[in-house]
């Protein structure tokens, strides 16, 4: 059962054809009734209203389909870097991926970003050069570009027959046959290689064997002995190389014209790993305080990761769960390991592209939707009480922009808070803050588009009228030098004295290292609650800032002494005292304001590149590199976030809408440094 399962994702630069290809896969695997066209806004995977309007895929949903006795779970990954967290989250739960390249553009900036992430998670990949029918399509150029930019060992398993509008099929270099498609791509026609293409095909087949023998001794030996290399041997050796990320096999096609899709689905089965062949998940046993590997074993202790939550007005929270070990039965209790709370898995569903199907249980390796859990948040580990293991936490980047949001009618304030709470359960990269003085709600996220999408969801999906402020940069505060401060606190509450004394040292830490709390007081026999109260006070002070109220970063706060008496010492007093000690210490430690600097990746048609670059420099940006391609130039730059608002509009106007860009958080920098 496990060996016939695949959990895969499709990653690509926006517009490379991920949605179109996914649609075709679902169509040919027979699970969707008709081919949805992205351009009609009807694609099945892009099921949220907003995604359809914007024509981009935002949320990753998992869809199950079947091909040649194999079950394929497709985890949708977003193409836009404003949604990096979504990409990270899907990479966590998939075992293999298809990387799609545009046949004209080759490797685009976001492809590189996603590739780096796939590297980090060790995800085996296959490559697909889509849009072979486009004017300027060049399979061999893309191969070179992939090899140079992604530094991988590529092995084309096909070469195209014809290109641009005359692209008609591929030569399969393993079977050494020509493949053409008929009848809406539903029928494949196989024929012998035409004499005029025979030499080229032989040459590429030789390159394939050569590449493969670089990683396979079996192939090398057989080849040297002059033995016949049959297709199944080549495939099984290739499979090993793909699983160890030693080779990237590459396919060609034009998904929109229904050319090339079935061999790609075969390749999912042939080359991408089954759940028990993928690298075992890592976890942390909270009882024994040790790191463990979790083998994919349906008979093991139950352990699963909630990797996605979608709120459905009828069913409540749809928790997408990937099981790593054991199984989860529908209608039974589940234990939320981090939150130490029991919940019920009322129902378990398998999601197909157009329907959902109830399941009795969800086993190791598989992905499904659990309904009934109210506490679970994205990133939570669920399982049983007897096996307290937390799966590795997902890492999310820093939110760098904020907007204030206010309901049109004051009576809607609570409703708005509820909606924001629901949305943040689905998306851990956005945060909500309530301004202590004004009571105004401020939401922070990864970029303008990210917040825009959240706001549109509030307005449209939840139909709540709200006013939003202009986007603002979320700065950070830090300090420029070390400082010590001793604070004493005393307050009479209900006739009883509450007193505390805390001495604290604050020190600047290396940029990017985050805040750290250290307890180094020599005072002994302090109750644990008091120590926890001090830590709470410091952590609270870290997030409420120094001078401007922005969150602190890169500060180490060390408690060097405390004054505690059993009669008057209370948690309340120590929490307040620690927080005040921090504020006083930091205020006199040369406070600094840090601003987020963004990595800006642009692509522009040649004729606009001058204007595009000066647009970036006008906004205080620095051009880092430029790379010229057949139809466009790619520019990498860095610019302060505060100057990048509304950049999309200016970029459109200088390039007649033809230049594109992405913004991704790079680092924080002292505000006056630029």
Residue 349: its H or E element: strand 347-351
Q: Going residue by residue from 248 to 287, which x/- string records binding to ligand GDP, judged by CB under 6 A?
A: ------xxxx------------------------------
Question: Which CB, 12 or 238, lies closer to ligand GDP?
Answer: 12
Residue 426's CB is within 10 A of a number of other CB atoms, namely 18
* Long-range contacts, stretch 638-642, CB < 8 angstroms, 24+ apart: 638/597, 638/598, 638/599, 638/600, 638/666, 639/597, 639/598, 639/600, 640/595, 640/596, 640/597, 640/598, 640/669, 640/674, 641/400, 641/401, 641/473, 641/595, 641/596, 641/597, 641/598, 641/665, 642/473, 642/595
Contacted entry of Mg ion, ligand GDP, none for residue 419, CB cut-off 5 to 8 Å set by kind: none
Helix (H, G, I), strand (E, B) or coil at 561: strand
The CB-of-69 to ligand GDP minimum distance in angstroms stands at: 28
Under rule CB under 6 A, which residues in 32-71 are in contact with ligand GDP? 38-39, 57
Contacted entry of Mg ion, ligand GDP, none for residue 16, CB cut-off 5 to 8 Å set by kind: ligand GDP
> DSSP per residue over 151-213, as a string?
---EEESEEEES-GGG--EEEETTTTEEEEEETTTTEEEEEPPPHHHHHHHHHHHHHHHHHHH
Q: Using CB under 6 A, pick the residue from 16, 62, 118, 555 that binds ligand GDP.
A: 16
The CB-of-261 to ligand GDP minimum distance in angstroms stands at: 10
Name the token pair of 160.
């195209």
Under rule CB under 6 A, which residues in 78-97 are in contact with ligand GDP? 79
The CB-of-159 to Mg ion minimum distance in angstroms stands at: 27
The CB-of-111 to ligand GDP minimum distance in angstroms stands at: 11
CA–CA separation, 287 vs 269, rounded Å? Answer: 39
The CB-of-85 to Mg ion minimum distance in angstroms stands at: 17
Cα 666 to chain centroid distance, Å, stands at 16
Contacted entry of Mg ion, ligand GDP, none for residue 15, CB cut-off 5 to 8 Å set by kind: ligand GDP
Question: Which CB, 19 or 71, lies closer to Mg ion?
Answer: 19
Contacted entry of ligand GDP, Mg ion, none for residue 603, CB cut-off 5 to 8 Å set by kind: none
# residues contacting ligand GDP (CB under 6 A): 20
483 binds ligand GDP (CB under 6 A): no
18 binds ligand GDP (CB under 6 A): yes
Contacted entry of ligand GDP, Mg ion, none for residue 29, CB cut-off 5 to 8 Å set by kind: none
Q: Using CB under 6 A, pick the residue from 5, 8, 14, 303 that binds ligand GDP.
A: 14
Site of tokens 């180490």 = 556
Residue 215's nearest CA partner among 251, 240, 196, 194 is 240
Give the phi and the psi of residue 208 in degrees, each rounded to 5: -60, -45
The CB-of-502 to Mg ion minimum distance in angstroms stands at: 53
Name the token pair of 51.
């995604």
Q: Angle, to 10 degrees, between the axis of helix 109-120 and the axis of helix 139-150? A: 50
The CB-of-533 to ligand GDP minimum distance in angstroms stands at: 50
12 binds ligand GDP (CB under 6 A): yes
Which part of the chain contacts ligand GDP (CB under 6 A), choosing from 125-133, 207-215, 437-445, 476-484?
A: 125-133
The CB-of-546 to Mg ion minimum distance in angstroms stands at: 43
Residue 118's nearest CA partner among 37, 20, 9 is 9
The CB-of-648 to ligand GDP minimum distance in angstroms stands at: 17
Residue 171's nearest CA partner among 185, 192, 153 is 192
Which part of the chain contacts ligand GDP (CB under 6 A), choosing from 13-21, 348-356, 554-562, 625-633?
A: 13-21
Residue 178 pairs in a beta bridge with 171, 191
Contacted entry of Mg ion, ligand GDP, none for residue 363, CB cut-off 5 to 8 Å set by kind: none
Give the phi and the psi of residue 619 in degrees, each rounded to 5: -95, 20
Contacted entry of Mg ion, ligand GDP, none for residue 17, CB cut-off 5 to 8 Å set by kind: ligand GDP
502 binds ligand GDP (CB under 6 A): no
Q: Using CB under 6 A, pick the residue from 134, 350, 450, 485 that binds ligand GDP.
A: 134
The contacts of residue 227 (CB under 8 Å, 6+ apart) are none
Q: Which residues bind Mg ion (CB under 5 A)?
A: 18-19, 57
Question: Which CB, 103 or 238, lies closer to ligand GDP?
Answer: 103
Q: Using CA of residue 268, residue 269, residue 274, residue 275, what is the dihedral sign?
A: positive
DSSP 8-state code for residue 280: P
The CB-of-279 to Mg ion minimum distance in angstroms stands at: 28
Angle, CA of 375, 378 and 382, to the nearest 5°: 60
The CB-of-81 to Mg ion minimum distance in angstroms stands at: 14
Site of tokens 């033809």 = 658
130 binds ligand GDP (CB under 6 A): yes
CA–CA separation, 275 vs 325, rounded Å? Answer: 11
Question: Which CB, 51 or 95, lies closer to ligand GDP?
Answer: 51
Give the phi and the psi of residue 218 in degrees, each rounded to 5: -55, -45
19 binds ligand GDP (CB under 6 A): yes
Which part of the chain contacts ligand GDP (CB under 6 A), choosing from 10-18, 110-118, 401-409, 523-531?
A: 10-18
The footprint of ligand GDP (CB under 6 A) covers: 12, 14-20, 38-39, 57, 79, 130-131, 133-134, 254-257
């Amino acid at each position: 059962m496990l060996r016939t399962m695949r959990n895969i994702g499709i990653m690509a630069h926006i517009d490379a054809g991920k949605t179109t290809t996914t649609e075709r896969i679902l169509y040919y695997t027979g699970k969707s009734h008709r081919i949805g066209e992205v351009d009609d806004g009807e694609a099945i995977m892009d099921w949220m209203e907003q995604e359809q309007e914007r024509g981009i895929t935002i949320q990753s949903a998992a869809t199950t389909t079947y091909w040649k006795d194999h079950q394929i779970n497709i985890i949708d990954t977003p193409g836009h870097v404003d949604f990096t967290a979504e990409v990270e989250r899907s990479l966590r739960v998939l075992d293999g991926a298809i990387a799609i390249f545009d046949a004209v553009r080759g490797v685009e900036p976001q492809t590189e970003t996603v590739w780096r992430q796939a590297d980090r998670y060790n995800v085996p990949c296959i490559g697909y050069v889509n849009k072979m029918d486009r004017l300027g399509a060049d399979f061999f150029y893309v191969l070179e570009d992939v090899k140079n930019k992604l530094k991988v060992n590529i092995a084309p398993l096909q070469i195209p027959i014809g290109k641009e509008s005359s692209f008609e099929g591929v030569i399969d270099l393993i079977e050494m046959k020509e493949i053409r498609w008929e009848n809406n791509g539903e029928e494949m026609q196989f024929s012998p290689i035409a004499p005029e293409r025979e030499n080229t095909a032989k040459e590429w087949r030789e390159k394939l064997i050569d590449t493969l023998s670089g990683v396979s001794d079996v192939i090398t030996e057989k080849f040297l002995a002059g033995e016949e290399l049959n297709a199944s041997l080549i495939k099984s050796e290739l499979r090993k190389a793909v699983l160890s990320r030693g080779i990237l096999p590459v396919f060609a096609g034009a998904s929109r014209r229904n050319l090339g899709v079935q061999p790609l689905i075969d390749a999912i089965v042939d080359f991408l790993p089954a759940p028990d062949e993928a690298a075992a998940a890592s976890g942390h046993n909270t009882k024994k305080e040790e790191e463990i590997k979790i083998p994919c074993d349906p008979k093991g202790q139950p352990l699963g990761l909630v990797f996605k939550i979608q709120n459905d007005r009828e069913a409540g929270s749809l928790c997408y769960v990937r099981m790593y070990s054991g199984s989860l039965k529908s209608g039974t209790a589940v234990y939320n390991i981090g939150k130490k709370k029991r919940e019920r898995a009322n129902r378990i569903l398998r999601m197909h592209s157009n329907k959902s199907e109830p399941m009795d249980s969800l086993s190791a390796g598989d992905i499904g939707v659990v309904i009934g859990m109210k506490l679970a948040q994205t990133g939570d580990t669920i399982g049983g009480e007897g096996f307290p293991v937390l799966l590795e936490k997902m890492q999310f980047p820093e939110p760098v922009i904020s907007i204030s949001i206010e309901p049109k009618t004051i009576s809607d304030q609570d409703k708005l808070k509820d909606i924001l709470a629901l949305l943040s359960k689905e998306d851990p990269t956005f945060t909500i803050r309530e301004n202590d003085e004004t009571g105004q709600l401020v939401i922070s996220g990864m970029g303008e588009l990210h917040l825009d999408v959240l706001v549109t969801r509030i307005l449209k999906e939840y139909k709540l009228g709200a006013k939003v402020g202009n986007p603002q940069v979320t700065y950070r505060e830090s300090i420029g030098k070390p400082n010590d401060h001793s604070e004493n606190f005393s307050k009479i509450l209900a006739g009883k004295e509450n007193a505390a004394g805390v001495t604290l040292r604050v020190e600047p830490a290396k940029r990017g290292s985050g805040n750290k709390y250290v307890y180094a007081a020599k005072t002994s026999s302090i109750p644990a609650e008091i120590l926890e109260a001090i830590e709470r006070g410091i952590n609270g002070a870290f997030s409420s800032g120094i001078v401007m109220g922005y969150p602190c970063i890169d500060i180490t706060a060390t408690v060097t002494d405390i004054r505690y008496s059993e009669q008057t010492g209370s948690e309340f007093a120590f929490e307040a005292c620690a927080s005040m000690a921090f504020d006083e210490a930091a205020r006199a430690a040369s406070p600094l304001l840090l601003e987020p600097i963004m990595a800006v990746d642009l692509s522009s048609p040649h004729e606009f590149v001058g204007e595009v670059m000066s647009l970036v420099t006008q906004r205080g940006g620095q051009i880092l590199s430029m790379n010229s391609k057949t139809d466009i130039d790619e520019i990498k730059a860095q610019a302060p976030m505060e100057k990048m608002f509304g950049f999309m509009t200016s970029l459109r106007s200088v390039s007649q809408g033809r230049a594109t860009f992405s913004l991704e958080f790079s680092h924080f920098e002292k505000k006056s440094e630029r």
